[in-house]
Amino acid sequence: MVNVDDTGRGATRGSGNQGAPLRRDARRNRELLIAAARASFAEQGLGAPLDDIARRAGVGNATLYRRFPTRGALIEAVFGDMLTGTLRRGAEARDADDPWDGLVRYLEHIFATLAADRGTNDLMTTGIPDIPSLDALKAHHHETISLLLGRAREQGTVRGDVTTEDLLLALAALGRVVPAVVTVAPDAWRRQLHLLLGGLRAEAAAPLPAAPLTPAQLAAALGALAGQE
């Protein structure tokens, strides 16, 4: 089936951003939609209503759906550069001379990304279909963790019984808590990440960065987490 896109030309339904270069007003609409979606996703998560995003951008619903036929297409347009950058960080970590150092720096980047806003956290910690670059990143992420952990085990810097699945599960659990924690202590995730990683070490624990949460901060963070479910 064919519909008319913002350029005034025929376009195959579902073609999204493919095809001829956009006319100036169509390009502006696309940029407005991406900016509005980025702000809405940051505030509300990736479930933000698409109709609200269109209103925020000052365009009609039909324009949004012509430019982005699926939610996945819009999400990829918003987060594509971030996903590419994270994949690049994983490739750099694999090339590290010290696999433990490479693993720590890579995971610090991942968690700094998770702490950026709610939409980014949703993207990285939940399963969302129709986002090819996200699928590629998740596969690369799994392989990066496995390679670095394997090399670190061979060097004797991590305990020999730790598996890739052990670490991925722990990281996933910590990742979902990050949005709540940053509301009370923006850098607290660093302490928790290093506590987690310290448990993998075969040698004596290193000093932890950042201060621990106070009881009140912990209660506030858990309350915020409950409010997001």
Q: Per the confidence metrics, is the pTM higher than 0.85?
A: no
94 and 26: one domain? no
Q: What is the mean pLDDT of residues 114-138?
A: 88
On whether both 43 and 79 belong to a single domain, the answer is no
User: To the nearest 10°, the Cα dihedral for 56, 59, 54, 77?
Assistant: -100
Together in a domain, 141 and 222: yes
For residue range 57-94, list pLDDT tens digits in order.
Answer: 999 999 999 999 999 999 999 999 999 999 999 999 99
Find the CATH number of the domain harbouring 100.
Answer: 1.10.357.10
58 and 86 together in one domain:
no
Say if residue 147 is in the same domain as residue 86.
yes
* Residue 197 and residue 116 share a domain: yes
Domain boundary among 69, 89, 120: 69
Tell me: the pLDDT tens digits for 29-56? 999 999 999 999 999 999 999 999 999 9
pLDDT for 152-180, tens place per residue?
999 999 989 989 999 998 998 999 899 89
By three-state DSSP, how is residue 207 classified?
coil
| Total of domains in the chain | 2
Last residue of one domain, picked from the residues 69, 91, 126:
69
In this predicted model, what pLDDT tens digit does every residue of 144-154 receive, in sequence order?
A: 999 999 999 99
Which conformational region is residue 50 in: left (phi greater than 0), alpha (psi within -120 to 50 degrees), or beta?
Answer: alpha
Residues 97 and 32 placed together within one structural domain of the fold? no
Same domain, 87 and 162: yes
DSSP annotation of 10: E
Give yes or no: residues 63 and 124 share one domain: no
Domain boundary among 18, 37, 69: 69
- Is the domain of 122 the same as that of 9? no
Say if residue 63 is in the same domain as residue 85: no
Give the chain's count of helices (H) and strands (E): 10, 2
Which CATH number belongs to the domain containing residue 29 in this structure? Answer: 1.10.10.60
Mean confidence (pLDDT) of the chain: 86
Q: Looking at the structure, do residues 64 and 138 belong to the same domain, yes or no?
A: no
Which residue range is the domain that position 28 belongs to? 2-69
Q: What are phi and psi of 59, to 5 degrees?
A: -130, 170
Longest dimension (CA), the chain: 66
